[in-house]
Structure 1
Amino acid sequence: MDTPSLSPCPPPRSSCYLPLDPDHTRIFELEAGTPSAPIIGRLVHQAIDDKPYEAISYVWGDALNRRDVVINGVTLYVTANLHGALTAFRHAPSVGTTRRLWADALCINQEDLAERTSQVELMGRIFAGGSRVLAWLGWEEGEEGRQHTLAAMRFIHEFMEDPEAGLRDSRILLRHDPSGASFPGSTLSEEEQGQFQAQTWKWKCIKMFFEIEYFHRAWVVQELGLAREAVMCAAVKPRADDADGIVALHFLDWPLVGRFVTVIDYGAASLVAHLDLLCWITHHTFMVWEVKADGTPACDFLTSMHWTRVLSVTDPRDRVYSLLGHPEATVDGQLIIKPDYTITRGVLYTKLAASFIRRTRNLDAVSLVDHEGDPCLQERLWDPTDEGRLPSWAPDWHSINRTTPLDYPIAAAVAEDDWIRVEGDILGTAGRPLPHLLVRGWVVDEVVALSHRMETTDFPVMHLAREQAKEHPFWLDSVWKIAFPADEAPGHSALVALEMLSLALSFGIKEADQGVSKAGLNQTFEEHHRSFAAYVMEYHKLWKDSVEAGEGAGCLPSRSMFDSLPVELQKTLRRRADGASDEGFLECMTWPSMCRVVYRTASGLVGVGSRVTRPGDIVCRLRGSSALMMLRRAHGHETITRAGVDGKAKERLVVCAFVGPTVVPARLKRGIVDGRKFGEEAVAFYII
């Protein structure tokens, strides 16, 4: 469903929309007809769990591009996209008389705010209650040889018969260019040229398939995730001279799409980045509904909000309301928050974050902050004219998500802390100060240097032509200069710095019996060492071959990262890389590192953090947070003195803004949740 606050239709006649009883909705009984026949049907009231119906999931599209429909004898208007879905889904006269469908634009009185709000609250039940959800992808235009949607649907079926072979075949696209350019010393045989062209066409279709607007709607997450059965539907648009024929629908099971995007996202991140595929967006939709072995949700409500930030909504408040069908949106039988279209998104998001912090006594909500720009360093007042005004510690779920949630497998501090408090006005009262967050913890260190923002296109090691085309050629060499500068005392050996860097880039752990990364191929610790060493050696080989060929002037570093290492460490890397491939490390680090920065602290610690990190930011260990956090001291007053928890003792609080979660592998050890074990300074924080 698209946002309930907009309507593409003129005010309908009231006779079509009699008031609804609680827990009831309307069903559209669509009469059969040929493609050229008018859309005719009637609206009937029923309890959601009464007679069976199918729910239509679709994109509203251009509100000004409208078509006639006749409902209860009254001519109304719907968008052209819904009209197309109704045309495709109705039975031909010889098949049946009516089809019972639910579609938001028809079944909800879009001119009645109270009804829209109440139906939004029931949306999860409506899609869960349908016998099937029909996901309308739109008409396929053009002749058969140009039907990319249908070709993509066929390819997904074929690919999932043997995913490993499919991935193996697809990697030819990483090794070669359409021009025939390839890695030095490699050429395309005639057979390989045929394979390259075949793979190019198939993945072009996949690229276009996941760029269909349908997959980028926030409401899709709930509509498909709650469905008993869901199918993707597309059809070739009837020709003008064959308007009375039967529409041939093509179907693709939604669970099969889920298995496909999961394989691609976890096993071929480099291919996704290279081809600029958007299948990862659809993977986010599936991640929201993942379950554990015991059947309980694997993805909590707030993390679901983060995964769906990349999806589009007309109204930013629907970031929350479109997920109210999630199993963890209900606590003790009550929704965590009721739909309310009278408050700003900033107030809504702040209330939601504060509610979770107070209820859980942890900072999981705060760990999902992903600032688009620098956080404000001064306390501010609520302003009802500013939709996006909210404190630095509350996630703005309407800004696009660019990072993977920082799910580091080793806890930085205790899971809960009763001392955590949200103080101040969370209702958005005009002129009142924004609420602040009080937490306890330790200062780990201060940032002194950082890299450029890392992009997925920086990571793969290809040939020199592609390297030169990157925004940051030989990015690993430049990142290494930050992690272990030759002209400064880093505080650690090159080996320690190298391992801190490799583990931070993949959110890795330091236990040999655990998988290194949750966001990739889940390598063992030994496999991680070997694949990272192979990755370093691949970059060194590219640099060395380019120097020997006299190519890459202006692009090549003066020397490679490998050459800058001590001789004994070079031998270690050569030994580890022997017989290994860089693919494992590349797949494990692509999503965790995307749009983050590498930084070095004053004592030489190496970490990965938010793209808005700045020198002077402080790495902190906060009670109630499993992740380390980055804070920035506020302007004007770095500390304040106030009454302590017991109301008697005085305490000093560092006044700061929240920057984002961060990873510093050297300061994360299993079982150590007290910063005093590392000699860190205990501090209380007042986060504006």
Structure 2
Amino acid sequence: MQQKLQYRPLLGQHDIRVIRLLTPVDDPVHATGPVHCEIVHVALGEADVIANAGNATKGSNGTWPVSVDTAVDSQSKTSQPTGFNELFEKSLVERMTPLANLPVVPYFEGPSCLRESPPKVGDRTVTAWNPSQDEEASLPWRYTWGDFVALSYVWGDQSIRREIIVDGIPVSVTASLEGALRELRHHSRIQQGFLLWVDALCINQEDLDERSAQVAKMKDIYQAAWHVVIWLGPDENRSDLATLALRYMSLHSEDEDVLDKLYKHVEFYVVRLPFMQWKHAHTSLRIRKAVLNAIYHLLARPYWRRLWIIQEVVLGSRNSPVICGNSSILLKDIFNALRVMKADGDALGQYIIFAAKGSSKTHQRWNFVAEDTYGISEKLWERPIAITALKFFDLDLSALHNGVYDCLLVSREANATDERDRVYGILGLPQIANTIQLIPDYNRTAPETFILFSARLLASGNVNGLRLVNSPIPAIGTRYYKSTHFSRPRSPKLIHDHRVVHRGCEHGLPSWVICWSCPRNPAQPFLDRTRSLSLLALPPTTPRITDDNVLIVKGVVFDTITTLSACHATESDKSYPRSAPEPPKSAYGDRAATREALARTLTGDFESKSDNASDSENPDLDNPSLATAVMHPTIWDMGINGIDNNIFGLKDFYQRNRALQLFDGWTLDSLVRDLSRSADIGRRVKESARARPKILRVTMAHREALTQAMRALGWRRLVVTSTGFLGLVPAAAREGDVLAVVGGCDAPLLLRRVGGDGVGDGVEEKGVEIGKGRFQVIGEAYVHWVTGREIQERVEGGVCKVEDISIC
């Protein structure tokens, strides 16, 4: 029978437990075999800090040696990691020519005694750290008892267990933790004497009171640690190649031609005669498929989706080491490399997914019904970027809402064993800690925790949590026949097997409460803050919650929805799309301005680098703006192969909603095709005389426009308001739902009247007081015109008023 580990209580306010990991320096027997460690009680109080620790202490240079060799570039005279040639496809000449022997120098400059010597277990050489060569031997520790690092890792499958020895007692831990400790005992900083904090061993998980107290201290623990060491797991799927590739992209991330280094451009003339020329051009990726596959599996590891790593990564150092098997890399290198990938996500990112999953899976990235799409979508690189971006976030107390919404988004998509940890796991983030004061208590139920967290967030004046409401998504048909005829694509036929995509929150919580138990709504959030509503001059009041759990918040109800599109090409409810009985006039003016507004709405007014179009004669072909590119009729007819050749493309949205009457006299079809031009015979003749290709010349602007439109439209409805404005709203929207802006929220909200006595007097529109009564939040919305200035002008003009809005 296995003996149970006995914990001594933590008595002092600053007391924590750490472990001393036994290494080959203590005894050569620890180079292999079971992991041995000892639990040590230490304190993090000011009295335990050495007085001169602000000068030079062990590890004060901040370096954690990385076990990678580099070579000196003969041209730039700079040191670069060796092995980069392994990343790229070789030409025939390169394969026949042996590589020159280049001098090798350490990748990470630091004390010579601390340069990593890759240990060997089995076929791996183990070189123990030599204390006699310690250049920091004469330096003191930061604390009277020494110093420590904190481990960030994913617990992994709880059923797969390994045994380690703690204080002479065999203890069962997860295989992930055992692997991390087994690897760390060979690293020089641990051999130098740095202790280790690990949540699974240093917290008595069975004592709920201690667990609550220690979780509340985790912010202080990770900030006090000399380094946060990130353990991704054992060496699998050539993770050494992945770290090498990420380091290469990081090394060149500041180069203007960084992407050109990853691609091979080929151009040659097939035919070149005086009156006939045929030029062939194509671009291919130079990186080997094996490298792309390795990058994919590194980014797809469960670590990046674990909830607690958000706080652990953010509170660590920019030079935090990331260890994966025998390979290691700095966190800042991963961040720089992923930014390169994000800049070319529709090309480089999809190459990576395609290399590991193939074309069939890659094309399903918009299908939230079949399975979890994390591993086949842009989330693969966007989530690690979002986490590390929180770390590099320049916290400014005067900044708009301090990035709290970003923290909520990252936490919303994380995986946690205990639902309450979705709240407790982000309390230590600087953005949250400066906004909310909440002490973890595992004696509370999950619903009680969610209500308390939302109430505290609202009390701080930040109302952005209302944007994360879990509203349902109607059923769609998941089995259908779809013609793939090239010249005239057809809408899906024979649709059956109707399934509900998302049921919304089913826990009976008020709509102002963020429910962390339900799966997130699959619609992509509106992240562009260029049109923030913070300029709205609302009275400086704090939202309040009544005894019957009704939220009272200052805001403006400014419009009503009258026209709604179908949210999906195979939406089961055949009554969609729904046109208003009396379509309004376009509030944007003439057809050209309305088409521009439609394009901006379809992309959520995404700001693109392509928006600075050239002044060429044919901007649609040469360098189209995002708005111009997304309105090209060919995209709506046929899409772009490789991006929207599934059911979620613009062409499928168009087939379902082409007859939708958006405005008086204008349908979606007439605006997309710009049918007014058909009567302009002179223009048609003039254009036909130009040497314009009849097939769309696809540019990066077209691909970017289509991708942004698909992200903005996904699981949303295109709507027209009663005053003639276009917008995007959640799929749960109905006729009569109202649009409102509230103080402390950066996006308009879609509200639904549920009856009851309203606090405000409402605004009369066509004989109906649209601000009267209690409301339920349906979700965030986008309306093309709504900024703080326009809302303020409406209030000053008496069109609408600032009032108390009751949300239940």
What's the CA shift for 1:45? 1.0
Of 17-26 and 269-278, more deviation after overlay is shown by 269-278
Aligned ranges for residues 130-209 of structure 1 at < 5 Å?
130-141=225-236, 147-163=237-253, 165=257, 167=259, 195=284, 198=287, 200-209=289-298
**1:612 counterpart (717, 732, 741):** 732
The answer as to 2:145 corresponding to 1:28 is no
What's the CA shift for 1:270? 6.5
**What residue in structure 1 maps to residue 481 of structure 2?**
none
Q: Deviations over 1:635-661 (max 9, x none)?
A: xx3x5266989xxxxx98322211112
**What residue in structure 1 maps to residue 591 of structure 2?**
494
- Structure 2 distance, partners of 1:448, 1:324, is 42
What's the CA shift for 1:447? 3.7
**What residue in structure 2 maps to residue 13 of structure 1?**
5
The answer as to 2:462 corresponding to 1:367 is no
- Greater radius of gyration (CA): 2
Distance 1:196 1:120, change over 3 A: same
Distance 1:641 1:594, change over 3 A: closer
**What residue in structure 2 maps to residue 396 of structure 1?**
515
- Structure 2 distance, partners of 1:393, 1:94, is 48
**What residue in structure 1 maps to residue 360 of structure 2?**
none
Aligned ranges for residues 531-680 of structure 1 at < 5 Å?
531-537=626-632, 539-540=634-635, 543=638, 562-567=672-677, 581-583=701-703, 585-586=705-706, 592-634=712-754, 637=755, 640=757, 653-668=772-787, 670=789, 672-676=791-795, 680=799
The answer on whether the counterparts of 2:156 and 2:174 sit within 8 Å (CA) in structure 1 is: yes
SS of equivalent to 1:37: coil
Aligned ranges for residues 411-560 of structure 1 at < 5 Å?
411-412=532-533, 414=536, 416-418=538-540, 421-425=543-547, 433-452=548-567, 491=586, 493-508=590-605, 517=607, 521=609, 523=611, 530-537=625-632, 539-540=634-635, 543=638
Distance 1:310 1:188, change over 3 A: farther
What's the CA shift for 1:663? 1.5
What's the CA shift for 1:592? 4.9
SS of equivalent to 1:288: helix
**What residue in structure 2 maps to residue 256 of structure 1?**
333
**What residue in structure 2 maps to residue 239 of structure 1?**
none
The answer on whether the counterparts of 1:490 and 1:604 sit within 8 Å (CA) in structure 2 is: yes
The answer on whether the counterparts of 2:149 and 2:226 sit within 8 Å (CA) in structure 1 is: yes
What's the CA shift for 1:673? 2.0
- Structure 1 distance, partners of 2:416, 2:515, is 14
- Structure 1 distance, partners of 2:214, 2:521, is 28
- Structure 2 distance, partners of 1:625, 1:502, is 25
**Letter of the structure 1 residue corresponding to residue 559 of structure 2:** V
Q: Deviations over 1:152-194 (max 9, x none)?
A: 1111122234456554577899xxxxxxxxxxxx9999x96xx
- Structure 1 distance, partners of 2:640, 2:406, is 45
What's the CA shift for 1:41? 1.7
Of 288-297 and 483-492, more deviation after overlay is shown by 483-492
The answer on whether the counterparts of 1:483 and 1:598 sit within 8 Å (CA) in structure 2 is: no
Q: Which runs of 5+ in 2 are unaligned?
A: 25-29, 50-142, 266-277, 354-375, 475-504, 642-646, 659-668, 691-695, 763-769
The answer as to 2:148 corresponding to 1:45 is no
SS of equivalent to 2:739: strand
**1:119 counterpart (211, 214, 239):** 214
Q: Deviations over 1:267-288 (max 9, x none)?
A: 4256646832411121221232
The answer on whether the counterparts of 1:531 and 1:582 sit within 8 Å (CA) in structure 2 is: yes
- Structure 2 distance, partners of 1:544, 1:118, is 55
Distance 1:616 1:18, change over 3 A: same
**Letter of the structure 2 residue corresponding to residue 495 of structure 1:** A
**What residue in structure 1 maps to residue 95 of structure 2?**
none
**Letter of the structure 1 residue corresponding to residue 602 of structure 2:** L
SS of equivalent to 2:464: coil
SS of equivalent to 1:446: strand
The answer on whether the counterparts of 2:469 and 2:512 sit within 8 Å (CA) in structure 1 is: yes
Q: Deviations over 1:560-613 (max 9, x none)?
A: 9753432199989x99x9997435545665655554332222343211222332
**What residue in structure 2 maps to residue 107 of structure 1?**
202
Q: Deviations over 1:337-364 (max 9, x none)?
A: 110112233332222222232332x533
- Structure 1 distance, partners of 2:679, 2:337, is 40
The answer as to 2:321 corresponding to 1:231 is yes
Aligned ranges for residues 293-304 of structure 1 at < 5 Å?
299-304=402-407
**Letter of the structure 1 residue corresponding to residue 310 of structure 2:** V
**Letter of the structure 1 residue corresponding to residue 240 of structure 2:** L
Distance 1:291 1:281, change over 3 A: closer
Distance 1:211 1:35, change over 3 A: farther
Q: Deviations over 1:86-123 (max 9, x none)?
A: 11110389994865211111111222222111111111
- Structure 1 distance, partners of 2:579, 2:295, is 41
The answer on whether the counterparts of 1:32 and 1:93 sit within 8 Å (CA) in structure 2 is: no
The answer on whether the counterparts of 2:737 and 2:751 sit within 8 Å (CA) in structure 1 is: yes
- The one of the two structures with greater contact order (alpha-carbon pairs below 8 A, sep at least 6) is 1
Q: Deviations over 1:308-355 (max 9, x none)?
A: 2111111121112111221233349xx611101122333322222222
**What residue in structure 1 maps to residue 86 of structure 2?**
none
**What residue in structure 2 maps to residue 212 of structure 1?**
301
The answer on whether the counterparts of 1:448 and 1:616 sit within 8 Å (CA) in structure 2 is: no
**What residue in structure 1 maps to residue 60 of structure 2?**
none
- Structure 1 distance, partners of 2:640, 2:468, is 43
What's the CA shift for 1:297? 7.4
The answer on whether the counterparts of 1:535 and 1:585 sit within 8 Å (CA) in structure 2 is: yes
**Letter of the structure 1 residue corresponding to residue 733 of structure 2:** T
Normalised by the size of structure 2, how large is the TM-score? Answer: 0.62
What percentage of aligned pairs have identical amino acids? Answer: 21
Say what the alpha-carbon RMSD is for the aligned residues.
Answer: 4.6
Distance 1:495 1:273, change over 3 A: farther
The answer as to 2:405 corresponding to 1:306 is no
- Structure 2 distance, partners of 1:611, 1:391, is 20
Distance 1:387 1:45, change over 3 A: farther
What's the CA shift for 1:488? 6.0
- Structure 2 distance, partners of 1:687, 1:619, is 13
**Letter of the structure 1 residue corresponding to residue 159 of structure 2:** L
Of 112-121 and 659-668, more deviation after overlay is shown by 659-668
Distance 1:407 1:390, change over 3 A: farther
Of 109-118 and 652-661, more deviation after overlay is shown by 652-661
Distance 1:331 1:157, change over 3 A: closer
The answer as to 2:138 corresponding to 1:61 is no
**Letter of the structure 1 residue corresponding to residue 421 of structure 2:** D
Distance 1:42 1:544, change over 3 A: closer
**Letter of the structure 2 residue corresponding to residue 565 of structure 1:** L
**1:315 counterpart (418, 424, 427):** 418
The answer on whether the counterparts of 2:526 and 2:604 sit within 8 Å (CA) in structure 1 is: no
SS of equivalent to 2:531: coil
The answer on whether the counterparts of 1:310 and 1:401 sit within 8 Å (CA) in structure 2 is: no
- Structure 1 distance, partners of 2:397, 2:741, is 33
The answer on whether the counterparts of 2:22 and 2:37 sit within 8 Å (CA) in structure 1 is: yes
**Letter of the structure 1 residue corresponding to residue 429 of structure 2:** H
Of 45-54 and 657-666, more deviation after overlay is shown by 45-54
- Structure 1 distance, partners of 2:640, 2:176, is 54
Q: Which runs of 5+ in 1 are unaligned?
A: 1-8, 142-146, 174-185, 236-248, 375-385, 426-432, 455-470, 473-480, 509-515, 547-551, 646-650
What's the CA shift for 1:435? 3.3
- Structure 2 distance, partners of 1:490, 1:272, is 42
The answer on whether the counterparts of 1:69 and 1:78 sit within 8 Å (CA) in structure 2 is: yes
